[in-house]
Amino acid sequence: MDTLVLNGAECEPYITADHRMMLEKPDEIIEGAKIILKILGISECHIGIESNKPDAIEVMTRAAAEDGSSIKVQPLQVKYPQGSEKQLIQAVTGRKVPSMALPASVGVVVQNVNTAKAIHDAVVYGKPLYEKVVTISGKGIGRPANLQVKVGTRVSDIVDYLGGLQPGLSKVIMGGPMMGFAVSSLNVPVTKTTSAILFLADDEVDTNPHSQCIRCGWCLDACPMGLEPKEIGIYVEAGRGEDTEPFGVFDCFECGSCAYVCPAKRPLVQFIRMAKMKARK
Ligand code: SF4
Ligand code: SF4
pLDDT at 100 over 90: no
pLDDT (tens digit per residue) in 65-77: 999 988 999 999 9
23 — pLDDT class (breaks 50, 70, 90): very high
Length of the chain: 281
CA of 260 to the centre of ligand 2 (A): 10
Mean pLDDT calculated for residue range 205-213: 91
Q: Where are the beta strands (DSSP E) in the chain?
A: 3-8, 44-50, 72-76, 108-112, 131-137, 145-150, 169-174, 181-183, 196-201
Helix, strand, coil abundance in the chain, percent, nearest 5: 40, 20, 40
Residue 269 CB–ligand 2 contact under 6 Å: yes
Least confident range from 38-42, 205-209, 218-222, 257-261: namely: 205-209
Q: In whole angstroms, what is the distance from residue 269 CA to residue 281 CA?
A: 18
Whose alpha carbon is nearest atom 3 of ligand 2? 223
pLDDT > 70: percent of the chain: 100
**Residue 33 binned pLDDT confidence (cut-offs 50, 70, 90):** very high
C-alpha 102 – ligand 1 centre gap (Å): 29
Listed range (9-18, 36-45, 136-145, 203-212) with the worst mean pLDDT? 203-212
Neighbours of 86 (CB within 10 A): 23
Q: Which of 192, 143, 187 is nearest to 163 (CA)?
A: 143
**Residue among 159, 155, 160, 158 nearest 174 (CA):** 155
Atom nearest to 268 CA in ligand 1? 7
- pLDDT, one tens digit per residue, over 130-157 is 999 999 999 999 999 999 999 999 999 9
The finding on whether 223 has its CB within 6 A of some atom of ligand 2 is: yes
Helix (H) / strand (E) element for 279: namely: helix 268-280
| Strand 131-137 versus strand 196-201 pairing type | parallel
HSE, CB side, 13 Å, CA atoms: give it for residue 184.
0
For 53, half-sphere exposure in the C-beta direction (CA atoms, 13 angstrom radius) is 29
Ligand 1, CB cutoff 6 Å, lining residues:
213-219, 230, 233, 261-264, 266
Q: Average pLDDT of 20-36?
A: 98
* Residue 207 CB partners (closer than 8 Å, separation 6+): 170
Out of 211, 212, 218, give the residue to mutate to test ligand 1, the one with the largest number of ligand atoms within 8 Å of its CB: 218
Q: Is the pLDDT of residue 206 over 90?
A: no
- Band of pLDDT at residue 99, cut at 50, 70 and 90: confident
Please report which ligand is nearest the Cα atom of 226. 2
Beta strands 3-8 and 196-201 are unpaired
Q: Rounded to an integer, what distance in angstroms lies between the CA atom of residue 181 and that of residue 22?
A: 26
The pick from 206, 223, 230 for probing ligand 1's pocket by mutation, whose C-beta has the most ligand atoms within 8 angstroms, reads 230
DSSP string, 213-233: -----HHHHH-TT---HHHHH
Q: Measuring from atom 3 of ligand 1, which residue has the nearest CA? A: 213
Does any ligand 2 atom lie closer than 6 A to the CB of residue 229? yes
Give the Å distance between the CA of 204 and the centre of ligand 2.
22
What are the DSSP calls for 78-116, one per residue?
Answer: --TTTTSHHHHHHHHH---PPTT--GGGGTEEEEEHHHH
Q: Which CA distances in Å does 171 have to 82, 194, 198, 201, 258?
A: 26, 17, 8, 7, 20
User: CA dihedral in degrees (99, 176, 168, 160; nearest 10)?
Assistant: 150
User: Taking a C-beta distance cutoff of 8 angstroms, is the pair 36, 119 a contact?
Assistant: yes
Assess whether the C-beta atom of 205 lies below 6 angstroms from ligand 2.
no
Closest-lying ligand to the alpha carbon of 218?
1
What mean pLDDT is predicted for residues 205-225? Answer: 94
Q: Which backbone phi and psi does 275 adopt, to 5 degrees?
A: -65, -40
Ligand 2 close to Cβ of residue 261 (< 6 A): no
Mean pLDDT of all residues belonging to the chain: 95
Return d(Cα 184, Cα 181) in angstroms, integer: 10
Q: Please report the pLDDT score of residue 109 as a whole number.
A: 97
Establish whether residue 225 lines the binding site of ligand 2, counting it when its CB lies within 6 angstroms of any ligand atom: yes
Q: How do residues 160-177 score in pLDDT, each as one tens digit?
A: 999 999 999 999 999 999
19 Cα distance to chain centroid: 13
Q: For the residues 75-104, what does the mean pLDDT come to?
A: 93
Say yes or no to pLDDT of 125 above 90: yes
